[in-house]
Amino acid sequence: MITLEGIFWIFVLLFGLVGALRGWKKEILVTFSMLLGLFIEFIVKAYVPGVQMALIAQSPSNQFLIRGTLFAALAFFGYETPRLRGLGESGRFAREKFPDYLLGTIFGLINGYFLIGTLWYYMHDTGYPFEQITGPCLVLTSPCPLGSEDPSYLRYLPPRLIGVPWLFFAVAIAFVFVIIVFV
């Protein structure tokens, strides 16, 4: 049996490796697409009438699948970015070995944190609706048994850590960055 925090760190490290291989300019677009995913979820749930109630009316497993699928789809499309041929030919983003790998690794780790952490948050928010996955140990007076997580991790998951108004600032900074660097 493996804990959720173990799976979380394995995937974060795997995403860091992928980021090193892809480079920072592709990885930063994935980061921005996941920020956009969190932003869209907040806006739709808060300002589109009926969406919050329709989501609450679903079973917990369907709630997780709906939210997780939409977020993962935005992450997928972020990873499916087109080749930025014009930027590569300009020499402005010439791939230097160590700095590009290092920045790619950093943004890959951030992307792993965003994707896996958000999915973990959605699972926690819906009460761990799958019987194969157990929630964190909430008994704080005794040590947690093997296979359960420390609940202090849960307050550092992306949707909880990057809430309003920080989410709005992050989306604004992402758009400014895209306009300045990629346009």
- Among 158, 82, 57, which Cα is nearest to 116's? 158
b/e string for 15-52 if b means 16 or more Cβ within 10 A? bbebbbebbbbbbbbbbbbbbbbbbebbeeeeeeeeee
pLDDT in tens, 89-145: 555 555 568 888 999 999 999 999 999 999 999 999 998 898 888 776 654 444 555
SS3 content of the chain, % helix, strand, coil (to 5): 70, 0, 30
What is the value of pTM for the model shown?
A: 0.84
Residue type, 105: T
DSSP state at residue 91? S
pLDDT in tens, 3-61: 888 899 999 999 999 999 988 888 998 999 999 999 999 999 999 999 999 999 999 99
Domain ranges of the chain: 4-182
